[in-house]
Amino acid sequence: MNKGKKMQKTGTSKGTCCFIAGIAVLLLGMGNPEALFAQRKVTIKLASMVPENTPWGAALNRMSQEWAAVSKGEVELRVYHNGVAGGEADVLRKLKLNQIQGVVLTSAGLNLIDSEIMTLSAPFLIRNDSELNRVLRDLKPVLEEKINKQGFFTLAWAKSGWVKIFSRREVFLPQDLKRQKLATSPETPEISQAFKVMGYQMVPVMMNDLLVSLNSGMIDAVYQSPALVGGMQLFGIAKNMASINIAPFMGGIILNQRAWSRIPEAYKPGLIEVSRRIAEDISDSITELETNVIKTMTSYGLKVNQISPEQEQAWYADVEGAMPALLGSTFNRDLYLKINSILQQYRSGH
């Protein structure tokens, strides 16, 4: 009997202690509201390979500020520019491990999530902004669904200009470029294979090593966005830019689902709106931005190799001859044919 009472007394004592401890924590929190705020604050570490001194870098910084305003400071977006978190394969691995929670990926990085996406960047398949808009109108929802099914959340897409050829020596025709060593990303074997099949000399180089590789003579040419070339100062050596568009330069802002689920539901619509508005701002102004970047580079010695319509056809024919060997291995056959069908209808005025 006494033993039972003793046990009851002990249990009551423990319960009382827990209650008092809980009250103490609550009072401490009331006395220190920053502590409670810190507990619910969500930090999103966003990795970007793009230099901070580019339009993309400035836009990401602005997005960080607007996220803080929309969420009343409860969602902090920390942007790591300039590839400091690693290449696209590295940051994607870190994203899956939740070491970072968001990434800005190019078409190459998105391809690591779903291999069909690289087909958007097949050389000379999509040739201008109006064609790209038509293709994305029909296919972007399908591609987003494929990405999201892999455990990610597609926050926004942005058209970020066009990949162009920058080289030591002038390039007007395919054979001009085939005589020079062309850098390719080790993370995009599909594009490298496509150019190899067409007879180009491909040299794998990470983006952060492009300037060093140009300086050393390891490579003679790169295919990159003019904004990136300007930001990385590559045009000091690769002084020629062919005017023809190689492929659209796409950017996608991707979070992992784990991080996205931690953000309070009340803030999600506002964060999506901010992200997609800023991405649209980039897309809407990119033509002007690229024009200004090219103009600036030209004032510092860049020479634009103006490709004639006849020379353009030589580039298109070179790719079309190689494409049968690339479909099904390098590029997704079904998606390529679907994109080509959309473009044929568009070019015929339908």
| Among 98, 87, 4, CA closest to 44 | 98
pLDDT digit string, tens, across residues 302-322: 999 999 999 999 999 999 999
| Among 32, 51, 123, 154, CA closest to 339 | 123
pLDDT digit string, tens, across residues 54-86: 777 889 999 999 999 999 999 999 999 999 999
Query: What would the mean pLDDT of 214-234 be, rounded to a whole number?
Result: 93
Find the DSSP H helices in the chain.
Answer: 2-31, 33-40, 55-70, 88-96, 107-113, 129-148, 174-178, 189-197, 210-216, 226-231, 257-262, 268-299, 309-326, 333-347
Identify which has the larger pLDDT, 58 or 4. Answer: 58
CB atoms within 10 A of CB 179: 13
pLDDT digit string, tens, across residues 11-64: 445 554 444 444 444 444 444 444 444 457 999 999 998 878 777 788 999 999
Kindly state the tokens that stand for 233: 């100062």
User: What is the residue-averaged pLDDT of the chain?
Assistant: 87
The pLDDT value given to residue 38: 45
Give the type of residue at 116: E
Give the Cα separation of 293 and 128 in Å (integer).
18
The pLDDT value given to residue 131: 95
Say if pTM beats, i.e. exceeds, 0.85.
Answer: no
* Residue 349 scores a pLDDT above 90: no
The pLDDT value given to residue 342: 96
The pLDDT value given to residue 30: 46
pLDDT digit string, tens, across residues 141-189: 888 898 999 999 999 988 878 999 999 999 999 999 999 999 998 877 7
**Strand pairing report for 201-204 and 221-224:** unpaired
Task: Give the CATH architecture of domain 40-347.
Answer: 3-Layer(aba) Sandwich (3.40)
Give the Cα separation of 192 and 182 in Å (integer).
9
The pLDDT value given to residue 253: 94
The pLDDT value given to residue 125: 95
| pLDDT band for position 108 (cuts 50, 70, 90) | confident
Give the Cα separation of 28 and 36 in Å (integer).
9
Supply φ then ψ for residue 140, to 5 degrees.
Answer: -60, -45
pLDDT digit string, tens, across residues 317-326: 999 999 998 9
The pLDDT value given to residue 121: 86
